[in-house]
Chain A
């Protein structure tokens, strides 16, 4: 139960932080508004899952969010990858197509995970999942729309989308690895079932826009990079350092 909540909280917090890095850099102002809103949703969901961990005696929710080192994080590696070359403050040459494909892959995974969690035997989690799911529907629709738009836009947008699919795919399997979570009443589904359901719903979208289907992802991370087991890239260290800077500098600050 606790291991599952860490996966949920860490996934949402890390992708929410990556989303927030698009502020001021998104393709147009509407997208700036959208990504700020999406980032706020995700960080809000993370806060909810961290509060459930706090209620289970894991420590203060804010400490869990900001102070745990990379080795104790359980997010999938796909979500910690940077948005592109450069950093937010220094020459950000972020890759919009990568962000769209990564988000779509994650949103679909998250939608299926939340469907499963709505029937979790742990009532606080089932209730949280039912609530969060209503909000996540908007994210999945948004990124599906962007995927179609890039696929059917110009030669350049399609080329960039294909490159993004190739870059994202090796990390997709890492979404499904179970880490310390065993299927049971709290989470009644097997990892390979999850991956199967994901592929059943993703493949038709590729067919619709005439993109080559890269194949069903296996429920396996790249060697040495299973985020569900605390194995991460240096990019997560950088993200955590930025994200927790204010919290470490001024503990207890309120604003």
Chain B
């Protein structure tokens, strides 16, 4: 008997290929899990439409779910409704992002102005300083911007607000 709980637990093992400490569950990318006997369907929300990691995520999720006892068929679908938002990143996901050197956007900031007001610049994930500034709205992946910490003099990244 396959349970939804077992599927969610297995999905917590599926890593974001570009941010390995963080799972797709931490990122809030899993919209829905449906279990019908030995058949499982998982709906995943892409963070960004053009994210090249999506097919890797699909493959990793399928492989992991096929290893769950009792599972015979797996379907992983990408859905745009509801659209993923950075507000969906869990508290644990935010902690793990920081441990990887990426500042998470504050919760509840989806749809807010793209440039943070001076009083809400992100804290440096390395030293905690708020003496930071935006270097580049765009970063090494579609979902991140580049900041610079004037406290510890290191660049760091921040998940974009979407």
Contacts and interface: CB of A to CB of B under 8 A. Distances in A.
Contacts, number: 68
A74 to B, nearest CB: 20
B59 to A, nearest CB: 13
Contact of A44 (B50, B135, B160): B50
A87 B114 CA distance: 34
Contacts of A36: 138
B106 interface: no
A219 interface: no
Counting chain A CB atoms within 10 Å of each CB, the highest count among B51, B81, B85, B137 belongs to B137
Contact of A141 (B83, B137, B142): B137
A37 interface: yes
A69 B120 CA distance: 50
Contacts of B115: 141
A64 interface: no
Interface stretch (A126-134, A161-169, A176-184): A126-134
B9 interface: no
A33 B80 contact: no
Contact of B49 (A33, A38, A44): A44
A43 interface: yes
A201 interface: no
B21 interface: no
A38 B136 CA distance: 12
A135 B48 contact: yes
B37 interface: no
Interface string A114-136: 00000000010001101110110
B33 to A, nearest CB: 20
A138 B114 contact: yes
Nearest to A126: B81
A38 to B, nearest CB: 7
Interface string B121-162: 000000000000001111111100010000000000000101
Contact of B139 (A37, A41, A48, A123): A37
A17 B22 CA distance: 32
B77 to A, nearest CB: 12
A132 B137 CA distance: 17
A147 B51 CA distance: 28
A143 to B, nearest CB: 11
A30 B48 CA distance: 20
Contact of A45 (B49, B114, B135, B139): B49
Contacts of B146: 30, 33
B108 interface: no
Contacts of A45: 49-50
A40 interface: yes
Given A47-B50, A135-B49, A130 B80 contact: yes
Nearest to B45: A131
B52 interface: yes
B136 A33 contact: yes
A137 interface: yes
A124 to B, nearest CB: 8
A47 B146 CA distance: 26
A148 interface: no
Contacts of A135: 48-49, 142, 162
15 contacts: A30-B136, A33-B139, A33-B140, A34-B136, A37-B141, A41-B48, A44-B48, A44-B50, A47-B50, A48-B49, A130-B83, A132-B49, A135-B142, A137-B114, A141-B114
The 7 closest A-B pairs by CB, nearest first: A44-B50, A34-B138, A37-B138, A127-B81, A30-B136, A131-B83, A127-B80
Interface of B: 46, 48-52, 80-81, 83-85, 114-115, 135-142, 146, 160, 162
